[in-house]
Amino acid sequence: MDTKKEFFLECYKLGIIKFGRFTLKSGIESPFYVDLRPLASDPKILKDLANYLLEMLPLDNFDLICGVPYAALPMATAMSLESYIPLIMKRKEAKSHGTKKLIEGIFSKGQNCLLVEDVITSGKSLLETIPEIENEGISVSDIVVVLDRQQGGKEMLQSKGYNVHTLFTISEVCDILKDEGLLMDEEVERINDFLRGNVVKFKEEKRISYEDKLKICEHSVAQKLLHIAIQKKSNLIVSADVTTTAELLKLVELVGPHIVALKTHIDIISDFDSDQTILPLKDLAAKYNFLLMEDRKFADIGNTQELQFSMGVFKISNWADLVTAQVIAGYDSLDCFRNVGVVAILSMSSTGTLTDMEYREQAVKIAVSHPNVFGGVAQNKIPNELLLFTPGVNLADSGDGKGQQYNTPEYVFKKLETDFIIVGRGIYKSDDVEKAALNYKIAGWNAYENSL
């Protein structure tokens, strides 16, 4: 094995190139991602790298060395130490006080400086850096780069009269990795496609089926829901946001055969009565084989939630199979939900919701680690070990004028890989409630199957 190849493989072990699917700053999707900063953490590699780079260069031409911040700074320093060519440093931004200098170190006008860069892509950032050095009266004739991503940067700079020396190109690196069995043909093809300037096609990741979910979602309520979904060929949850017991029971008679769960806001039922409301509801749940999901969105300290869950008028703990809860009060606040499954609110469907990415990340951490939680309500993908419930689903409308935002079943299955759709007004406000429920059931099931 030649030594340059061996050297690259040593570098590769530090994790400087990753293959997969990455979104670049430009928004373009790339099949690989390069970050050479880890090289500086291995002194032997950094020293060898400096020597490899120096070997390629007409060293007598240079009075100074300068690295483009930040990744190339340690590389330029190491090259200076190995070659005794003095180092200057370029700031990323001029100091806001004092000398306002952009270039630090000892230099004089007319000197020629070797510029060091870790990776060259389009060459645009180098083109911005060079004048900042030239403005100090220093000339730049040569640029040395560790890895050329082969996206036109080298050619562009050469056309402007700069000599660009590159240690590795991405094609060369792919060949080495392919030889070593570290890269599959398919990946190499994708990379070549990308380098040719084509939009790269990644295999659409497939969502996992309800059968596979059964293997990873162990909570008993998750198991029950998944079994019902498979049995009834339905992923529909109807949100029964009606306000009297009679309306509620009438609605359930119509939608019961088509749903996996009925979602209630039990506190909007004006004539609530445990015997009149809950007993018949439980009978219907047994008759049509669906679960009862109380969308209480608990959001208090554990002690208060415990009381809200089991006491008061509604005694939710007596009848709900699953409840929704915020995780805002922290992990321990969820301990009180015994003998019930908890679906954590991870993000909301309404305009201006505060559930930004940072919140969601923290919320997901609690949800996956708490044994009472088996699912999440969200408008985004969540880890496979949780079941995803998505409200804000409507086939006819895109919003309700009060902040609600709707998507279609097709969209939420394909894009969010949801497991269950929650539909309220799309069904209970329909002229033909039963037909609407059946339509949503079919649309949801087709969307699920299409997303597999």
When binding is defined by CB under 6 A, the residue of 37, 165, 233, 425 that contacts ligand 5BU is 425
Considering the complex, state which of residue 147 and residue 423 has its C-beta at the smaller distance from ligand 5BU.
Answer: 423
Binding residues among 256-275 for ligand 5BU as defined by CB under 6 A: 265
Q: Which of 402, 411, 401 lies closest to 379, judged by CA?
A: 411
CB of 289 to ligand 5BU, least distance (A): 22
Which element (helix H / strand E) includes 116? strand 112-120
According to DSSP, the residues that pair with 90 across neighbouring strands are 103
Say whether 295 is catalytic: yes
Cis ω for the linkage preceding 70 (within 30 of 0): yes
Q: What mask of x and - would describe binding to ligand 5BU in positions 374 to 403, judged by CB under 6 A?
A: ---x-------------xx-x---------
The one catalytic residue among 148, 295, 321, 419: 295
What minimum distance in Å lies between the beta carbon of 347 and ligand 5BU?
7
Residue 409 contacts ligand 5BU per CB under 6 A: no
Q: Quickly list DSSP for 367-411.
A: HHH-TTEEEEE-SS---TTSEEEE--B-SS-SB-SSSBB-B-HHH
Give me the sign of the Cα torsion angle 379, 327, 227, 440. negative
Q: Does 404 bind ligand 5BU (CB under 6 A)?
A: yes
Q: Is 20 annotated as a binding residue?
A: no
In the set 191, 412, 422, 447, which binds ligand 5BU (CB under 6 A)? Answer: 422
Q: Which of residues 308-367 bind ligand 5BU (CB under 6 A)?
A: 345, 348-349
Instruction: For ligand 5BU, give the closer residue by CB, 333 or 394.
Output: 394
Taking the complex as a whole, the smallest distance from the CB of residue 251 to ligand 5BU amounts, in Å, to 13
Q: Is 444 in the site for ligand 5BU (CB under 6 A)?
A: no
Q: What angle do CA 221, 300, 353 make, to 5 degrees?
A: 85
Q: Quick check: is 297 catalytic?
A: yes
CB atoms closer than 10 angstroms to residue 285? 19
Q: Are 8 and 168 in contact (CB under 8 A)?
A: yes
Pair of tokens at residue 325: 């809860």
Closest CB to ligand 5BU among residues 284, 393: 393
Task: Report the run of H or E that residue 120 belongs to, with start and end.
Answer: strand 112-120
Cβ nearer to ligand 5BU, comparing 52 with 420 = 420
123 assigned binding-site residue: yes
Is residue 121 part of an annotated ligand binding site?
yes
x/- map, 278-307, ligand 5BU, by CB under 6 A: -----------------x------------
Q: Quick check: 9 and 176 in contact, CB under 8 A?
A: yes
- State the pairing for strand pair 87-90/103-104: antiparallel
Beta strands in 267-384 (DSSP E): 291-298, 322-325, 341-345, 373-377
Report the distance separating Cα 417 and Cα 207, nearest Å. 6
90 is catalytic: no
Q: How far apart are CA 340 and CA 4, in angstroms?
A: 61
Nearer CB in complex with ligand 5BU: 136/267: 267
- Number of Cβ atoms within 10 Å of the Cβ of 415: 13
C-alpha distances out from residue 18 to 15, 119, 174, Å: 7, 14, 11
Quick note: the x/- pattern for ligand 5BU over 230-259, rule CB under 6 A, is ---------x-x------------------
Closest CA to 148 of 169, 118, 172: 169
Catalytic residue among 5, 47, 297, 414: 297
Query: CA-CA distance, 328 to 342, in Å (whole number)?
Result: 14
341 is in an annotated binding site: no
Amino acid residing at 123: G
User: Has 91 been labeled as part of a binding site?
Assistant: yes
- Min dist CB 353 to ligand 5BU, Å, is 7
Place of tokens 């429920």: 437
As measured in angstroms, the least distance from the Cβ of 267 to ligand 5BU is 12
Q: How far apart are CA 60 and CA 306, in angstroms?
A: 78
Given 42, 63, 267, 300, which residue is catalytic? 300
Q: Measuring CA to CA, which residue among 53, 249, 83, 69 is closest to residue 143?
A: 53
Nearer to ligand 5BU, 109 or 402 (CB): 402
Rounded least distance, CB 281 to ligand 5BU, Å: 16
Q: Tell me the catalytic residues.
A: 295, 297, 300
In the complex, the residues that contact ligand 5BU under the rule CB under 6 A are 239, 241, 265, 295, 345, 348-349, 377, 391-392, 394, 404, 422-426
* Feature table: binding site: 25, 91-92, 95, 97, 117-125, 149, 241, 263, 349, 404, 424-425
Question: Which residues contribute to the annotated binding site for substrate?
Answer: 241, 263, 349, 404, 424-425
| Residues annotated within a binding site for 5-phospho-alpha-D-ribose 1-diphosphate | 25, 91-92, 95, 97, 117-125
Please give the annotated binding residues for orotate, written as ranges: 121, 149
